[in-house]
Amino acid sequence: MAQWTSAVGSTQLARLLTSQQSRPAGPGSRRPPAYRSLADGIRLLVLEGRVPVAARLPAERELALALSVSRTTVAAAYEALRTEGFLESRRGAGSWTAVPAGNPLPARGLEPLPPEALGSVIDLGTAALPAPEPWLTRAVRGALEELPPYAHTHGDYPAGLPALRAMLAERYTARGIPTMPEQIMVTTGAMGATDALCHLFAGRGERIAVESPSYANILQLMREAGARLVPVAMAEGLGGWDLDRWRQVLRDAAPRLAYVVADFHNPTGALADEDQRRGLVEAARSAGTVLVVDETMIELNLDEDVPMPRPVCGFDPAGSTVITVGSASKAFWAGMRIGWVRAAPDVIRSLVSARAYADLGTPVLEQLAVNWLLSTGGWESAVDLRRAQATENRDTLVAALRRELPDWDYAVPAGGLTLWVRTGGLSGSRIAEVGDRVGVRVPSGPRFGVDGAFEGFVRLPFTVGGAVADEAAARLAAAARLVASGAAPGGESPRTFVA
d(CA 463, CA 427): 23
> Tell me: the pLDDT tens digits for 69-98?
999 999 999 999 999 998 998 888 889 888
> Tell me: the pLDDT tens digits for 321-334?
999 999 999 999 99
pLDDT above 90: percentage of residues in the chain: 69
If one compares 104 and 208, the residue with the highest pLDDT of the two is 208
In this structure, are strands 339-342 and 184-187 parallel, antiparallel, or unpaired?
antiparallel
Least confident stretch, 53-62, 96-105, 130-139, 196-205: 96-105
Residue 114 confidence (pLDDT): 63
Question: Is the pLDDT score of 107 beyond 80?
Answer: no
Residue 25 confidence (pLDDT): 46
> Tell me: the pLDDT tens digits for 372-425?
999 999 999 999 999 999 999 999 999 999 999 999 999 999 999 999 999 998
Question: Is the pLDDT score of 496 beyond 70?
Answer: no
Question: Edge-to-edge strand order for the sheet containing 228-235?
Answer: 184-187, 339-342, 322-327, 290-294, 257-260, 207-212, 228-235, 240-241
Least confident stretch, 80-89, 168-177, 469-478: 80-89
Residue 367 confidence (pLDDT): 97
Q: What is the mean pLDDT of residues 432-445?
A: 91
Please answer whether residues 57 and 464 qualify as being in contact, where contact means their C-beta atoms are separated by less than 8 angstroms. no
- For residue 291, give the nearest of 300, 302, 278, 310 by alpha carbon: 278
What's the DSSP call for residue 58? P
> Tell me: the pLDDT tens digits for 261-296?
999 999 999 999 999 999 999 999 999 999 999 999
pLDDT band at 490 (very low <50, low <70, confident <90, very high): very low
Residue 18 confidence (pLDDT): 78
d(CA 282, CA 278): 6
Question: Is the pLDDT score of 452 beyond 70?
Answer: no
Question: Is the pLDDT score of 176 beyond 80?
Answer: yes
What's the DSSP call for residue 350? H
> Tell me: the pLDDT tens digits for 359-379?
888 999 999 999 999 999 999
- For residue 257, give the nearest of 190, 351, 322 by alpha carbon: 322
Least confident stretch, 102-106, 192-196, 366-370, 450-454: 102-106
Question: Is the pLDDT score of 304 beyond 50?
Answer: yes
Question: Is the pLDDT score of 56 beyond 80?
Answer: yes
Q: What is the mean pLDDT of residues 15-35?
A: 66
Torsion from C-alpha of 115, 121, 127, 129, nearest 10 degrees: 60
Residue 495 confidence (pLDDT): 33
pLDDT band at 110 (very low <50, low <70, confident <90, very high): low
Domains of the chain, with CATH numbers? 26-97 (1.10.10.10), 115-130+381-485 (3.90.1150.10), 134-376 (3.40.640.10)
Least confident stretch, 121-125, 172-176, 344-348: 121-125
What's the mean per-residue pLDDT of the chain?
Answer: 89
d(CA 417, CA 420): 10
Please answer whether residues 190 and 294 qualify as being in contact, where contact means their C-beta atoms are separated by less than 8 angstroms. yes
Residue 494 confidence (pLDDT): 35
Residue 488 confidence (pLDDT): 52
Q: What does residue 452 show for φ and ψ, rounded to 5 degrees? A: 85, 5
Question: Is the pLDDT score of 136 beyond 60?
Answer: yes
Residue 201 confidence (pLDDT): 94
